[in-house]
Amino acid sequence: MSVSDLTDSRAATDALLSMLRQGRWRPRAVARFLGLAAHRSVRQAACRPRALAQLTALHGLLLAAARDREPGRRWVAAGWLLAALHLGLLEHRDRLSPADALTLIRANLPATALGSYRWSGVVAIGLDLADGHLARRQATVSPFGDYADSLADAAFWTWLVLRHEPSRTLRAAAIAAWAMPVIAITAVGARRGTMPERPRPVLWRPAAALQVIVAVRHLQGRRPNAT
């Protein structure tokens, strides 16, 4: 059975990473990896036309709400492409759940007018709690929603601190809390040839406390040039 025919997203990812590792990251192996991954992603998206239509409609609305024409639209377009290429992570589902939609909205907050308000951090925390509550209540958690949640956190909070947070310490802490785990998991998966389990967060993890601190400071109007 080829990688494209595998229905389990984790098995397919492990097969692709193993192939890349066996090829020792040579240009030919990388090209084959990218080609097979893209082919499988397109096939998986085509098998879920309802989810693809939902995704496109949602990002169309986000595109209309983009704050700055060029940067905002590029952000939303990149978000749509990344999500569309990972619809296979929905596995047995053929549509996005309300929790998935809230996660994707959170990931795109920086591109919308909401991103310009001081209370954008509070909105992000509210969306995060809401999508988690919906996912648990409706039992709709999937690898797609699981990984999208981590990427949404990394995208929004890293953007917020780099754009608005004056404290170098908090900026470094934010990168360590949200961006570095994504990079580390990707690096470990590439090295081992299998995708490691993502650490399961809990509500009062250090990153959650850091979210509150950053959101409150942003709400208070801390300026990047502040001491």
Helices assigned H by DSSP within 65-119? 69-84, 98-107
Same structural domain for residues 159 and 179?
yes
Together in a domain, 30 and 111:
no
DSSP structural state of residue 193: T
pLDDT at 97: 93
- Would residue 64 count as lying in a domain? yes
- For residue 206, tell me if it sits in a domain: yes
Identify whether 141 is part of a domain: yes
pTM recorded for the entire structure = 0.83
The total of structural domains in the chain comes to: 2
Statement to judge: residues 58 and 34 lie in one domain? no
Residue 139 shares a structural domain with residue 149: yes
Verify that 145 and 192 share a domain, yes or no.
yes
Question: Helices 49-64 and 69-84: crossing angle, nearest 10°?
Answer: 170
Quick check: is 99 in a domain? Answer: yes
Report yes or no on 126 lying in a domain: yes
Q: Over the range 106-133, which residues count as b (16 or more CB within 10 Å of their CB) and which as e?
A: bbbbbbbebbeeeebbbbbbebbebbbe
- Is residue 153 a part of any domain in this protein? yes
| pLDDT tens digits for range 9-24 | 777 788 888 888 888 8
CA–CA separation, 46 vs 90, rounded Å? 13
The tens-digit pLDDT sequence of the chain (227 residues) is: 455 545 567 777 888 888 888 888 888 888 988 898 888 899 999 999 999 999 999 999 999 888 666 788 999 999 999 999 999 889 888 999 999 999 999 999 999 888 888 999 999 999 999 998 898 887 767 889 888 998 999 999 999 999 999 999 999 998 888 888 878 877 777 777 777 666 555 444 568 889 999 999 999 876 554 33
Residues 16 and 63 in one domain: no
Clarify whether residues 14 and 103 are in a common domain: no
Distances (CA, A) of 99 to 46, 103, 125, 136, 211: 22, 6, 14, 9, 20
181 and 142 Cβ atoms separated by less than 8 Å: no
Judgement on whether residues 171 and 120 belong to the same structural domain of the protein: yes
Instruction: Based on the fold, state whether residues 32 and 128 are members of the same structural domain.
Output: no
Shared domain check, 88 and 42: no
- Looking at the structure, do residues 104 and 181 belong to the same domain, yes or no? yes
Q: Which domain holds residue 33?
A: 1-47
What's the CA gap between 194 and 37, in Å, rounded? 15
Choose among 10, 30, 38, 36: nearest CA to 195. 10
